[in-house]
Amino acid sequence: MKPLLQILHIAKLSVYSLALSGVLVSCSDLLEKNPPSAISDNTFWTGENDAYLALVGCYRFQTGWSHDDFATPQGLLYLDFAGGNGTEKENFTTLMASSNTVATNGNIEWYWKNAYTQIAKYNNFLANVGKCPMDEDTREKWSAEVKTLRAYFLFNLAFYFKDVPMPLAQLTVEEANTIKQTAQADVYAQVETDLKEAARILPDSYDAEEYGRLTNGAAKVLLSRLYLAQDRWGDAADILDEVIISGSYQLDRRNGDESYEKLFQIGGEYSPETIFCIMGIADKFTNSRYQYLYPECAYGGWHQFAPYNELVKEYFCTDGKDIDNSGVYDDNDPYANREIRLYASVFLPPLGSYPGTKYNDITYNCFQGPNTADSYNRFPLFNGYCPKKGCDPSITNNLGSTPTYTPLMRYAEVLLSYLEALNESNPGAVDQTVLDLTINDIRNRVKLPGYQKGDLPTQEDVRKAVRKERRVELAFEGFRYFDVLRWGIAEQELNHTFTGVKLSDDPSAPNYRGSGSAASPVDQNMYYQFEKRTWAAHNRYFPIPQSERNVNKNLEQNEGYN
């Protein structure tokens, strides 16, 4: 049997991958039983080798320039920015999560369509593998893998859209165009059933040639997200405890002080911390991540994204304290004496004693004057910062087609989610041993002192600490909107004017903001004010895409949207 990645490289995606030509315009296209480009099911499923090819096709995710998806680098980054960690140059992410969000939003529409494209592929596999002559134990394991993949997209659809169609079998065009929504609670129940079964069936690991396939650990991590979304804290703590005590994963320290930064570069997919990721293949399954991510000064990057200063301020100082309590922080020199993760995650300009982020032989600088590369006010939604996390110095050309990987689950998430769940379900159990096992292990990797139990004496103290740690440790990985929604804090986090780099009123300063009516607006601490956001209670859920409702009259719109 050929290795998984080799099969991915040579496989001709057909009926099992639902490779449709043209533009996908409605649920009928996405859920059609027999698309014109498909190989006949009657002639394909002849034995176990065919079933394996079909299984590998199920691991094909959106590639190339397809961004709006729950399992692509840009798709995860969009969700992070929607939750208040940054913005996108063309206003995509803000318009996904604001009082101005509408049912015709194209980005939201594609999250929906891409998810149902994947689900149709999985349902096709499940419908046919049961009839394929093959070993029963193998059939059961492969079906569990595909049900886990389906559960990933069903869970995200239900979390972000609420009541959604839940096809669990192949549909005719008529069925696809008339399917009704399933209540969120029922979608969650199906996801839980499938993931519990998968956690029982799937192995702890695979041989090297099968690396990248879903394990029981991945099924359990996804199950923990479901429990967190439902405030089922005890269940989340129990399932995450199983992942921890399995000993299958550990935080990556292979590269010393650079371990955190290198974890998100090419090769990080083989980290001992990786639980599940999407793996690319050179010249075959690539994406445009670097083209969008890189600053303009670096190899033709587009600097498409701007992290908010509100996120930058959340990173700790080298003494382990936040900027409000640190003895080494100076607001006139805000980028000095900060923690490793900030320097690994954000391109920062030269200011005060900080020389600016060095990337290969390039120094990032947003203070070189109007309309220069990366200038902090070059575009309305520029702010002087640029994401660095995930950038790889080995990528210096052909930014639009690189085989970077996408981490979807890693061990740091497990540790922080476990601490949160245990603190909410049984706060008395959070002792020094638990802190050392979880949040302190994470802080130790980036050379921050750990917490003593006396530093976090109450449940609320632990809650604040774990929420802050999640924001900086998991930044740009797609968790922020998930977190602010489930914590019920989106209305307070997303209703204000967001800021960028620090400016000055001194005409001789490199970060001079100008004078008079041409001066860049700043807050009371001289940080550039550049984007006002508003968020209303009905924005808890995305609107059901209007294009889908135009085809399927049975789809009901979420409250607050026309």
**How much is the pLDDT for 285?**
67
Phi and psi at residue 354, to the nearest 5°:
-85, 125
For residue 221, what pLDDT is reported?
Answer: 98
According to DSSP, residue 549 is labeled H
- Sort strands 358-359 and 362-363 into parallel, antiparallel or unpaired: antiparallel
pLDDT recorded at residue 122:
97
Q: What is the pLDDT of residue 42?
A: 66
Determine the pLDDT at residue 474: 98
pLDDT recorded at residue 464: 98
Burial of 57 per CB tally in 10 Å (0-12, 13-18, 19+): buried
Taking only the tens place, the pLDDT of each residue in 506-532 is 999 999 999 999 999 999 999 999 999
Q: Classify residue 532 as exposed, middle or buried by CB count within 10 Å of its CB (0-12, 13-18, 19+).
A: exposed
Provide the token pair at 484: 């602010």
User: In what helix (H) or strand (E) does residue 362 lie, and over which residues does it extend?
Assistant: strand 362-363
Low-confidence residues of the chain, pLDDT below 70?
Answer: 1-42, 283, 285
Predicted pLDDT at 38: 52
279 Cβ contact partners less than 8 Å away, ≥ 6 residues apart:
5, 212, 269, 405
CB-based contacts of 135, cutoff 8 Å, min separation 6 = 48
pLDDT, residue 39, reads 56
Amino acid at 207: D
Digit-coded pLDDT (tens) for 187-202: 999 999 999 999 999 9
Mean pLDDT of the chain: 91
Written as one string, the DSSP assignment of 80-104 is HIIIIIEEETTSHHHHHSSTT--TT
CA distances from 295 to 135, 210, 520, 537 (A): 52, 36, 21, 35
